[in-house]
């Protein structure tokens, strides 16, 4: 009976082992989603930098001709005769899966996966318009594809391309974080620094396996993507954005009176379909995380969707932001006498990079719509 029971356990364990890669992938992604992205902390950047440094050491090591141990598999197969056969077979099988020549590529896959997962979460939570969503989608595709690329890392060109890509995205966060500014120059400079770091490491390797050219292509593509507003103005991270009828500050907290959602919209309490009376104000409230020491100015761009001319800017009002508050830095603007139709408010930086966007519909009505007060 015991033997049958153990056999069944082994059978179930083998079946479960087939799902380990998927379990580790989604488990790690869920952990990153829960622990990263509410803000950008120095500890997060330190961990990411450590990952990048380990990847650099691995790339340098496997680029040296002497890194493969000669006849290592033959040596591991010469195990003592007194060991049980099942144990010797298990050791050889494990070594074949993780023997020295393949281990660096497995570690590279693991490190790139962690970096891409964390960067995807940060960009995903900072994106709120279609161009930025597209950038986050590219990172998501790369994150999933990485799970199938272990053997491809032996083609050094791909290894260098991913290393340079991760270095550039990490520097995009780290340099503005350290400088305390989100001016465009720091994004372009950090991209060049990331590509330069990959190029420097490549030149330091004795054999120069693979090509470093794709790294420069990626750098050019990232700078172009930033120029067309595909990349959020990192390290700013959106927290909240909402529209309503009245805004009050009570004991340091804001209370925004918003349109109550219809009873059938059970998954949310508020609605962005506003019933606005003549001359009534409409407020836009936003909250954005900025690292300590970062000082900048944000703007609310109010736009109306004209039937003939599309989205037209009605006003662009600014407010100052000084980083370091964990709950996010809050600002608001308002307009009154809004025309019926579709509206949107974009939260932008001084150089017109979009942090977040909210769209809403205005219906001119003198009826007293149901309202709800929401704390922010």
* Span 235-274, pLDDT tens digits: 777 778 899 999 988 877 889 999 988 888 888 889 999 9
Q: If pLDDT is split at 50, 70 and 90, which confidence band does 376 have?
A: confident
Architecture of the domain spanning 237-375: Sandwich (2.60)
Asked whether residue 70 carries a pLDDT value surpassing 50, the answer given is: no
Alpha carbons 204 and 197: distance in angstroms, whole number: 11
Residue ranges, comma separated, of all CATH 2.60.40.1930 domains in the chain are 237-375
Residue with tokens 């952990």: 31
**And the tokens for 280?**
């009534």
* Residue 298, token pair as written in the block: 């944000």
Quote the pLDDT of residue 24. 52
| Crossing angle of helices 42-62 and 184-204, rounded to 10° | 30
Which tens digits make up the pLDDT trace of 19-58?
555 555 555 555 555 555 455 667 778 888 888 988 898 8
Contact 341, 305 (CB under 8 A): yes
Mean pLDDT confidence for 4-28: 53
pLDDT at position 167 is 93
Where in the chain does DSSP place strands (E)? 237-244, 246-250, 253-260, 270-271, 273-276, 281-289, 295-306, 310-322, 329-336, 341-348, 354-364, 371-375
Decide if pLDDT at 74 tops 80. Answer: no
φ/ψ region of 104 (left if φ > 0, alpha if ψ in -120 to 50, else beta) reads alpha
Give the residue-averaged pLDDT of 65-70: 48
Which residue would you say has higher pLDDT here, 297 or 33?
Answer: 297
> For residues 368 and 217, which has the higher predicted lDDT (pLDDT)?
217
47-51, 156-160, 212-216, 234-238: least confident range: 234-238
Q: Is the pLDDT of residue 145 over 80?
A: no
User: Residue 4: what pLDDT?
Assistant: 53
């Amino acid at each position: 009976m015991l033997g049958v029971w153990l056999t069944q356990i082994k059978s179930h364990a083998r079946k479960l082992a087939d799902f380990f890669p998927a379990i580790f992938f989604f488990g790690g992604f869920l952990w990153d989603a829960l622990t990263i992205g509410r803000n950008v902390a120095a500890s997060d950047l330190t961990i990411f930098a450590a990952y990048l440094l380990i990847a650099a050491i691995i790339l340098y090591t496997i680029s040296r001709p002497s890194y493969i141990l000669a006849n290592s598999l033959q040596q591991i197969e010469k195990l003592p005769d007194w060991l049980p056969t099942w144990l010797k077979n298990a050791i050889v099988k494990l070594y074949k899966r993780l023997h020295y020549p393949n281990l660096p590529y497995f570690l590279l896959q693991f490190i790139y996966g962690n970096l891409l997962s964390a960067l995807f979460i940060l960009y995903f939570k900072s994106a709120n318009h279609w161009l930025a969503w597209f950038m986050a989608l590219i990172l998501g595709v790369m994150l999933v594809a990485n799970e199938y690329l272990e053997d491809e890392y032996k083609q050094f060109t791909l290894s260098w391309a991913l290393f340079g890509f991760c270095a550039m995205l990490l520097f995009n966060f780290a340099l503005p974080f350290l400088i305390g500014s989100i001016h465009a120059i720091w994004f372009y400079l950090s991209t060049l620094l990331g590509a330069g770091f990959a190029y420097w490491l490549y030149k330091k390797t004795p054999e120069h396996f693979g090509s470093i050219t794709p790294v420069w292509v990626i750098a050019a593509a990232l700078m172009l993507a930033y120029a067309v507003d595909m990349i959020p103005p990192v390290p700013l991270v959106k927290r909240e954005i909402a529209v309503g009828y009245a805004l009050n500050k009570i004991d340091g907290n804001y209370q925004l009176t918003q349109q109550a959602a219809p009873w059938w919209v059970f998954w949310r309490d508020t609605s962005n379909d506003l019933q606005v009376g003549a001359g009534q104000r409409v407020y836009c409230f936003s909250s954005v995380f900025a690292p300590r020491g970062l000082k900048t100015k944000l703007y609310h761009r109010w736009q109306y969707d004209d039937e003939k001319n599309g989205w037209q800017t009605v006003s662009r009002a600014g407010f100052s932001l000084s980083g370091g508050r964990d709950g996010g830095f809050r600002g608001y603007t308002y307009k009154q006498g809004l025309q019926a139709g579709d509206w949107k408010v974009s939260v932008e930086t001084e150089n017109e990079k979009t942090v977040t966007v909210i769209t809403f519909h205005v219906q001119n009505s003198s009826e007293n719509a149901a309202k709800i007060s929401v704390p922010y």
